[in-house]
Structures are given as structure tokens and as C-alpha cells.
Amino acid sequence: MAARITPTGNRLYVYEGTEHKSLTSGQSYTMKKFAEVISVSPQTIQSRFRHRRLRNIVRDCDLFPLRSTTPRCRMIEYSGNHPDLVSGESYSYVSLGRAFNITTKLIRDRMRGSRVFTDDMALDTALPSDYKRCETRSTKTMNKWLRRKIV
């Protein structure tokens, strides 16, 4: 069987399996689609396919790391009003990052100590540009002279 290539130059792989409901057995998919389905980066899928020397057919066991037979990605419960997400459902860091257009590292940092991801955690927390310090001229002078060395 010859390698199948899309018009954009992406290689197509035939999926044979029943574990993923969004994939149909016998249909052809790109690496990017496989990555979206199991919530990992396309580079991870590319590495797994290369390591296993896959050319045409992809089975359920080929989508996951060698050390596990089930997906090991952490699922986080979501609570909020985002149009792409359902409140109460669990999503991976990658899915949440894609929905809110933020990095997975930012999600992990905001999730510290929490088990539920909310809409407030995805907001930008930059300071306003008209931020003013509450200092008077006398406090500035005092701070300047208190920090000097005594010689």
C-alpha cells in the first residue's frame, strides 16, 4: 500500500480500532487529528509513530506511550460559561488551553491548589497602564537616604 498524502503535504494514516468515538475505523487521518483526539501535541504523535515505525495503519495501542495502555493525561473539571466547553465536564490542559487561547503552563500555574478550572483563571491579569504609586516627595527622599551606606 503506497503512502497517502493530502494536498497540503501531510501524510494520512488509516485508523483501525474502536477505543475512540471521534475516529472511525477504516478512515484516514493526519497526525494532527490523532493529536487532537488524545489531547497531546502533534510532535508527541510524530515521535510515537516514528519510534514504532508506522507507515500506513494506526491501532489504538499505537496512540499511547509504551509504558501505559490507557491515556495518562490529567483531566481537570471545568466550571464556567465558555461556548466551546461544557460546565461540569473534564478536559485536559491542552483542550483548555486551546479553548481559552492560553498556554498549558499558565493553566497549571493558575490551578495551584484548585481542582476545578473556572473562567476567572483564564483572565489576563496585567496591571493597568495608569497605575500610580502612593508616594509623596518626602517619602521618596526618606527612602533614598535610608538606603545609603553609613561610612
pLDDT tens profile 14-69: 898 888 888 888 888 988 888 888 888 888 888 888 888 888 888 887 887 766 54
User: pLDDT tens across 85-102, in order?
Assistant: 999 998 888 889 889 999
Q: Does residue 32 form part of some domain?
A: yes
Count of the separate structural domains present in the chain = 2
Q: Does residue 83 form part of some domain?
A: yes
Q: Does residue 108 form part of some domain?
A: yes
- Give the closest residue to 61 by CA, choosing from 53, 51, 71: 71
Q: What number of other Cβ atoms are within 10 A of residue 73's Cβ? A: 15
40 CB-contact burial (10 Å; exposed 0-12 / middle 13-18 / buried 19+):
buried
Q: Does residue 132 form part of some domain?
A: no
Q: Are residues 58 and 92 in the same domain?
A: no
Q: What number of other Cβ atoms are within 10 A of residue 39's Cβ? A: 18
* pTM, full prediction: 0.43
94 is in which domain, residue-wise? 76-122
Side chain identity at residue 71, one-letter code? P
